C-alpha cells in the first residue's frame, strides 16, 4: 500500500483528507505542521507516494515546508499538493514556484482531490 503524508494543523482536516486518501487506497501518516513533518522525513526516511500540505500552520508553514523538502534529494521529486484556504492567484503561483505539483483550495470534494491526483499521475 502506498504511503501518503498529510500535513495540516487542523485535526478535522487531517481526518477528512485521511478518509479521502484511504478510500483511494493510501496508507496515511499525519503531521500537525511542517516542522513535525520535516522531522519525520529526516528521521524515518519513508518511501512516500504523496504529500498533501496546508499553507497556514504554526512553527513551519506549508510554503517553507515545500522549499525545505524540495532541498532533500530523496524527496526533491515526490508528488506534493498544497491544500489550503489561500485563494489568491499570486499565492498559487508562489506555491507552484516553491515546488508544489498541484494546488487545491478549501473547501473541496473527494472528487476534486482524486482529479488532482490523476493530473499529478499518482492515481489511475
**What domains does the chain contain, in order, with CATH numbers?**
3-120 (3.40.50.2300)
Residue-level pLDDT at 52: 98
Please report where in the chains the cell 490523476 appears, as a residue.
118
pTM score: 0.95
The residues facing 52 across adjacent strands are 6, 81
Residue-level pLDDT at 40: 97
Closest CA to 19 of 52, 46, 42: 52
Q: Is the pLDDT of residue 86 over 80?
A: yes
Residue-level pLDDT at 124: 76
The CA R_g of the chain, rounded to the nearest whole Å, is 13
Q: Is the pLDDT of residue 114 over 80?
A: yes
pLDDT band at 103 (very low <50, low <70, confident <90, very high): very high
Span 31-76, pLDDT tens digits: 999 999 999 999 999 999 999 999 999 999 999 999 999 999 999 9
Amino acid at each position: 500500500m502506498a504511503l501518503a503524508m498529510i500535513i495540516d494543523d487542523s485535526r478535522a482536516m487531517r481526518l477528512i483528507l485521511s478518509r479521502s486518501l484511504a478510500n483511494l487506497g493510501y496508507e496515511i501518516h499525519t503531521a500537525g505542521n511542517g516542522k513535525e513533518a520535516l522531522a519525520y522525513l529526516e528521521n524515518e526516511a519513508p518511501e512516500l507516494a504523496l504529500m498533501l500540505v496546508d499553507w497556514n500552520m504554526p512553527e513551519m508553514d506549508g510554503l517553507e515546508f515545500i522549499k525545505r523538502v524540495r532541498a532533500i534529494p530523496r524527496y526533491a521529486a515526490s508528488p506534493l499538493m498544497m491544500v489550503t484556504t489561500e485563494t489568491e492567484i499570486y499565492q498559487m503561483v508562489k506555491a507552484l514556484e516553491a515546488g508544489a505539483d498541484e494546488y487545491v483550495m478549501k473547501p473541496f470534494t473527494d472528487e476534486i482531490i482524486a482529479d488532482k491526483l490523476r493530473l499529478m499521475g499518482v492515481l489511475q
